[in-house]
């Protein structure tokens, strides 16, 4: 069976995607900064490897240990809601190092073997916030929009070599740990001007009424990208993602 390597499998979209591909008979390499094999059902087709996408040595070791990779899913990332004016420099660097440079580094580490084989699929998970102007997450949006741009060019570059490239764009997912992981980076609650904006943002993120994205939606979108040669470059990963992309004309 084909082999898929997925980054950021400790929770949310990455964990659900790893489970889905295991259920459907694939060989799965689930990577995490702190490997926990107990998060996934035991299987002879599963390998759990340590990987920090911001560490070149960690990337080299993980890719070497993985060996043959048919599908690469760049899912690792985090958010940091904060008004642009107040976003700490270290947070800006972390966002781009993880979300953008980490994705690029994984592509550069894995694509050579795909190009040589003239086969493979690269799937970069970004976000539908890149297609809609929103406050409070401007730097996060920028880090993910940069991945969109990289992926679009990569798709053109890889096409002559038989390597498919796709972007999966999830929507808002109240059931994942996005908000929990982002909380340490919040800025502006003590600012009279920005506090109402931040409070409204948190309310909207936690609201589970109306169309939302579930981790299973993203896993199915990744499955489509991995298995359907006719899949488009951009694939929405949730009911709200479909609406936002339609509104953006995508």
Residues with active-site annotation: 140, 144
Which residues lie below 8 Å from residue 98, measured CB to CB, with a gap of 6+?
Answer: 53, 54, 76, 77, 78, 143
142: left (phi over 0), alpha (psi -120 to 50) or beta: alpha
Which residues lie below 8 Å from residue 59, measured CB to CB, with a gap of 6+?
Answer: 51, 52, 53, 105, 106, 109
Strand ordering across the sheet containing 3-6? 46-50, 27-32, 3-6, 71-74, 120-125, 163-170, 234-237
Tally Cβ neighbours within 10 Å of residue 239: 14
Environment class of residue 41 by beta-carbon count within 10 Å: exposed (0-12), middle (13-18) or buried (19+)? Answer: exposed
């Amino acid at each position: 069976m084909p082999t898929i390597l997925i980054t950021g499998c400790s929770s949310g979209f990455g964990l659900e995607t790893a489970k889905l591909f295991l259920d459907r008979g694939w060989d799965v390499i689930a990577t995490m900064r702190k490997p926990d094999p107990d998060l996934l059902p035991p299987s002879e087709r599963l390998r759990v490897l340590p990987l920090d996408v911001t560490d070149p040595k960690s990337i080299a070791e993980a890719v070497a240990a993985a060996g043959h990779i048919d599908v690469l899913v760049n899912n690792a990332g985090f958010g940091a809601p904060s008004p642009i004016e107040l976003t700490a420099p270290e947070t800006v660097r972390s966002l781009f190092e993880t979300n953008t440079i980490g994705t690029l580094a994984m592509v550069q580490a894995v694509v050579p073997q795909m190009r040589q084989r003239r086969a493979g699929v690269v799937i970069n998970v970004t976000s539908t916030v890149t297609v809609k102007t929103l406050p409070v997450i401007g730097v996060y949006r920028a880090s993910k929009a940069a991945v969109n741009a990289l992926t679009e060019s990569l798709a053109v570059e890889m096409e002559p070599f038989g390597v498919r490239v796709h972007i999966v764009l999830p929507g808002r997912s109240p059931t994942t740990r996005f908000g929990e992981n982002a909380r340490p980076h919040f800025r502006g609650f003590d600012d009279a001007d920005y506090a109402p904006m931040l409070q409204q943002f948190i309310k909207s993120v936690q609201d589970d009424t109306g169309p939302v994205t579930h981790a299973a939606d993203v896993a199915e979108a990744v499955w489509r990208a991995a298995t359907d040669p006719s899949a488009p470059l951009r694939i929405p990963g949730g009911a709200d993602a479909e609406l936002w992309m339609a509104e953006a004309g995508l």
